[in-house]
Homo-oligomer: A and B are copies of this chain.
Amino acid sequence: MSCHKVLQEKGYRITPQRMLVIEALHNADSHISAEEIFQQLHARYPYSNISTVYRTLELLKKLNLVTETDFGEERVRYHVAEKSHHHHLVCRRCGRVIDLDESALYPLKGVLLRDYDFEADLRHMAISGECSECRKKRE
State A104–B118 Cα separation when bound (angstroms).
13
> Interface of chain A, helix or strand or loop or mixed?
mixed
Q: Which residues of B contact A127 (CB under 8 A)?
A: 112, 118, 120-122, 125
Who on chain B is nearest to A124 by CB?
B128
A119 within 8 A of B: yes
A117 within 8 A of B: yes
Q: Measured between C-beta atoms, what is the minimum distance from A88 to chain B in Å?
A: 10
Whether A120 contacts B89 in the complex (CB less than 8 A), given A112-B100, A112-B104, A115-B104, comes out as: yes
Shortest 10 CB-CB distances between A and B: which pairs?
A117-B132, A120-B129, A119-B130, A121-B129, A89-B118, A108-B108, A121-B128, A119-B129, A120-B127, A104-B111
